[in-house]
Amino acid sequence: MVTATVNKIIPFSCVDGPGNRTAVFLQGCNFDCKYCHNPETIHSCVNCGACVPYCKPQALRMEQGKVRYDMEKCVLCDECFHHCPHGASPRTREMTAEQVMVQVRKNMPFIRGITVSGGECTLWRDFLAELLTLAKAEGLGTLLDSNGSHDFSGDPGLMAVTDGVMLDVKAWSRQDHLAVTGRDNETVLRNLCWLAENRKLTEVRTVIVPDLFDCTETVEAVSRILSETGSTATRYKIIRFRPMGVREAYKSLPAPTGEQLSRLRDIAESYGLQDVVTV
């Protein structure tokens, strides 16, 4: 079995898709969003050991050139990744899909499914396919939380075990998307249409940062696509930018006002969307 670097597993989550789900967060992301709320999940640990001296409860130590992490001692103070020069976290585990499922099964029968998130979960495509296959065998639902950089239409094997994707649409124009994430969005937008048409689109999210990209254009275009594909019942989550967890350089990005958010909601609803949530 292949392994993935697992950042954390949240046994019960009420914010990662409908119902109660176990959320599995995989390490590593191919986007570099300025407003990223958990930048420590972007890169992988290079075992430089810079974090070790900052760990007061001594849950971290260097051993044969590797950073070792002792979950029992950890107090989740987050000092390690705040001092990481590489945008990574030492608090990760290499796990097989079966090892993750052992953790997931402990939460049954209280969960309806799992959601795999990140980082960007599709960077671990083969692991993902194994994990979702095991989850399906337990009768659990399977959702992916993705930035949309993986071409889902070209991966029928993965889609066969995926109930739905919760897709981030960070910005509509290529230019804006480059500014927000450092990557273009051709695949993201193709995925938006393809997932909607194939009834695999569970939710779309856009984080609103007024000065960073054209939020109105983005919300309007996403709403239009949802409307045109007959996906008006799909939830569209319009999320207020919050500085919590964001890197110092971008913490001061301005958050939208309540008025701006409700204007965006009105736009989405004007396209007939029935489940617009602003948070």
Partner 1 sequence: MKRVLTPEMIEQMRSEIYDTLTDSTTSHEQKVTYLARKAENFLTVLDEPEGLDELMRCDIDTRCICNLFEGDAPYRPRYICIDFPKFLREGSAFLQLGPARDFSEALTNLMIMYHNIPSITNYPVFIGDLDELLDPFIKDLSDDEVKKALRLWLTTVDRTILDSFCHANIGPKASRLGYLLLEVEGELENAVPNLTMRVARDTPDEFILAGIKCALRSAKPSFANDAMFRSELGDDYCIASCYNGLYEGGGSYTLSRLILSNIAKRAKNIEDFEKNVLPWVMDVMARYMDERIRFLVEESGWFTTSFLATEGFVRRDKFSAMFGLVGLAECVNLLLEKEGCHERFGHSEKANQLGVEIMNIIEAFNNNHYNPYCEATDNHFLLHAQVGIDSDHDCSPGTRIPIGEEPDELVDHLKVINLFHKYFPSGTGDIFPVDLTVHQNPQYVLDIIRGGLGMDIRYLSFYSSDSDVIRVTGYLVKRSEMEKLDAGQNVRQNTTGLGLGAAKNCKILDRRVR
Q: Applying CB under 8 A, does 18 fall inside the site for partner 1?
A: yes
Residues 88-147 within binding reach of partner 1 (CB under 8 A): 106-112
Residues 67-86 within binding reach of partner 1 (CB under 8 A): none
Which of 2, 14, 102, 160 touches partner 1 (CB under 8 A)? 14
H-helix or E-strand spanning residue 133 = helix 125-137
CA distance 3 to 130: 10
Closest to partner 1 by CB, 20 vs 153, is 20
Q: Applying CB under 8 A, does 279 fall inside the site for partner 1?
A: yes
**How many residues contact partner 1, by CB under 8 A?**
16
Task: Point out which span in 13-21, 39-47, 159-167, 201-209 binds partner 1 (CB under 8 A).
Answer: 13-21
Phi-psi region of 17 (alpha: psi -120 to 50; beta: other; left: phi over 0): left
CB of 256 to partner 1, least distance (A): 15
Closest to partner 1 by CB, 9 vs 67, is 9
CA dist 162 → 4, 250, 252 (Å): 18, 34, 37
Q: Omega before 109 cis (within 30°)?
A: yes
CB of 203 to partner 1, least distance (A): 11
Q: Omega before 119 cis (within 30°)?
A: yes
CB of 109 to partner 1, least distance (A): 4
Closest to partner 1 by CB, 215 vs 239, is 239
Closest to partner 1 by CB, 110 vs 151, is 110
CA distance 73 to 71: 6
Q: Applying CB under 8 A, does 233 fall inside the site for partner 1?
A: no
Closest to partner 1 by CB, 16 vs 40, is 16
CA dist 221 → 49, 161, 217, 259, 267 (Å): 45, 29, 6, 20, 10
Closest to partner 1 by CB, 20 vs 216, is 20
Tokens of 212: 């960073």
Burial call 163-200: b when 16+ CB within 10 Å, e when fewer = bbbbbbbbbbeeebbeebbebebebbbebbbbbbeeeb
Closest to partner 1 by CB, 129 vs 264, is 264
Which of 3, 11, 155, 210 touches partner 1 (CB under 8 A)? 11
Which spans of this chain sit near partner 1 (rule: CB under 8 A)? Answer: 11-12, 14-15, 18-20, 106-112, 277, 279
